[in-house]
Each structure stands twice: as C-alpha cells, then as structure tokens.
Structure 1
C-alpha cells in the first residue's frame, strides 16, 4: 500500500478496527453522561500514551540514573523515542489513518517540537531546577502535554479520520 499504513490483520480484521471497537465498548460502560462525552479516540489515546509514557519514564531512568546523562539530555532522548512509538501506535490503532505518512510525520514533528520546548524542557526542567524530583517533574509536564498532544493529533495530524 503506497503511502498508507500497513494493515495489521488478525483473521481478516484490521487491528485498528478491533482496537476502535474495544474503545467504543469501554466508553459505553462509562457512568452517566461520560459515555456520551468521552470519544473512543480519547480513550485510545489515553491508553496508548499511558503506555508510551511508561516507556518514556523507563528510558528516562535508564539515561539519567543508569548512564548519568544530564536531565535535559535524558529528557530529550527518552522523549523522542517514546513519541516515535506513540505516533506509530496512534496512527495505526487509534486514528486508523491511511493518509500519506510524510505530511503527517511533518506535522507531528512540529507538534512534538512545540510540546517538547514548552512542556518537557520548559515545565519539566524548570520544576527539576526548583527542587522537584525529576520523575515528578516529568509527570507534571506529562499532564500538560497530554491535553495538547491529543488535540493536535485529533484535529491537525490525523484530521483525515473520523475519530
């Protein structure tokens, strides 16, 4: 398939479609009006990015505590690797985009650059400099970046989908 996402199929069903169906079921279980307010793509984003955030923290620990890299460098390397994984998983499973990957990757690169400067280096490093432990600084920065990145992914990067 030229320019599109390869299909990860399991018994003829696309894994992205199965993932979306599961998110719809789980959203349907939410209490009260939440089931009408929470989009399945938001839940999918939360699950995927929760996982990749864990990968980010593991890499951060390895680079900072294991290798002794300075906090900004450790944040940067872990961030780039985790967000690459996030892009691939969100594109294939959550937003199920089939648009050409090149322009999307370009938009995503701009978004993560803004996110990185504002939240990761800005908030994360500033909180560490103020005395907050670096894991807690990264978690605080992660809360800020989650709202920004979901919005950018849903309405800018993967706007070709009906998430």
Structure 2
C-alpha cells in the first residue's frame, strides 16, 4: 500500500475513532473516506456545472452531463486508489461502476435536478439536493457491489467473532 493511501486510511480511521460509541460502531472508515473523496468531486462537479452553463452557455442537460461525467470519473479513480480495496480486476469494477452511474444519472441526477428546477429551484440548489440523494445510493453501490464486500469488513472484533 502506498504512503498516500495508508495516510488517508489512517486519517479516516482516526475520525471514526473520535466518534461517540454508538456512531463508532456504525460508521466505517470507508464512509468517512467516501465523504471526503466525493465531497471533493462534488465540488468539482458544481464548479464545472457553473462554468459550463454560466460561462460557456451550455444547456442544463449538457452542462450536467459533462460535469457529472468528469466528477464521477475522478471519483472512481480516487475511491479505488485511496478508499476501497481493489478486489476485482479494474475492468470488472469499471463495468459495474458504469452500470451504477447510469442508473444514478438517469434517476437521481437528471430526474431530481430537472424536477426541482421545474418546481422553481435554482439549478445549483437542485443539484445539491440530487447530490444528497446520490451520496447514499453511490456509497452503498460502491462499497458492496463495485469494489466488493470482503475488503470492508470491520477490523475491530465484536464479541463472539
């Protein structure tokens, strides 16, 4: 494991270590890592979205698509490198990731973003709401399906294990 990855994982584990007892038992270090990585890539998404729509004059659908695709490619690379173990070959992971983001994109990103803007919300606020919905979906999909379950078992032993 390279030093950057080890340092990142230690920092995530340290955050979990200072949580109150009940949360410490529920929150995995990979959830903290996912929040950090995807918080960063979501900021990239919003920045690109604003530049593409307000700066380049792209229509909402095109701006969302380009910004989303860029941010999610970056998310895959960073999560695979820093946060989740690579149990499967990268080709299998990419295939699964593409399936997950296709569903996420159609249902959550476009659906929620367009729905909220149709109701009068500014596109940035609509995208923020969609981002909250997709965070829950994407973490579960990446942890248990894209990158595999076995690498994310809690290292702390529970009574009887």
Report if aligned partners of 2:87, 2:148 keep a CA contact under 8 Å in 1: no
Segments of 5+ residues of structure 2 without an aligned counterpart are 153-161
Q: What is the aligned partner in structure 2 of residue 53 from structure 1?
A: 42
Looking at structure 2, the residues matched to 77 and 147 of structure 1 have their Cα atoms a distance apart, in angstroms, of 22
Residue equivalent to 1:145: 134
Question: Is 1:122 aligned with 2:108?
Answer: no
Correspondence for 2:88: 99
User: Which residue of structure 2 lines up, in the alignment, with residue 27 of structure 1?
Assistant: 16
* Structure 2 counterpart of 1:76: 65
Q: Measure how far apart 1:98 and its partner are.
A: 4.9
Name whichever structure is richer in helix by fraction.
2
1:63 aligns with 2:24: no
Give the conservation status (yes or no) of the 8 Å contact 1:56–1:81: yes
- TM-score for the superposition, normalised by structure 1: 0.89
C-alpha contact (below 8 Å) 2:48/2:67 kept by paired residues: yes
Bigger RCO of structures 1 and 2 (CA < 8 A, at least 6 apart)? 1
Aligned residues: 152
Report the equivalent of 1:42.
Answer: 31
Q: CA RMSD in A?
A: 1.3
Post-superposition Cα deviations, 1:51-77, rounded to whole Å, max 9, x if no partner, equal 000000000000011011111110010
Report the more deviating stretch, 106-115 or 19-28: 19-28
Q: What is the alpha-carbon distance in structure 1 between the residues aligned to residue 40 and residue 113 of structure 2?
A: 19
Residue in 1 that maps onto 2:155: none
Structure 1 moving runs of 4+ over 4 Å: none
**Alignment partners' CA distance in 1, 2:44 and 2:127:** 12
Residues 38 and 157 of structure 1: is their aligned pair in 2 closer, same or farther, counting only changes over 3 Å?
same
Q: Post-superposition shift, 1:161?
A: 4.8
